[in-house]
Structure 1
Amino acid sequence: MDAKSAEQCILAAIRAIPHGQVAGYGQVARRAGLPGRARLVARILSTHEIPDLPWHRVLRSDGRIAFPEGSRGFREQSQRLRAEGVRVERGRVRMPAAERTLDEAIWGPG
Structure 2
Amino acid sequence: MPVKHSDDPVDLDDLLCAEAVYRLADFFPDELDITRTPNRHMGFGHGIHTCLGASLARMEAEIAFAELAQTFPHFTVDDHDLRYEPTVVSRSLTQLHVTFHESAA
Q: State the TM-score, normalized to the length of structure 1.
A: 0.26
Q: Which structure dedicates a bigger proportion of its chain to strand?
A: 2
Scaled by the length of structure 2, the TM-score of the pair is 0.27
Structure number with greater Rg is 2
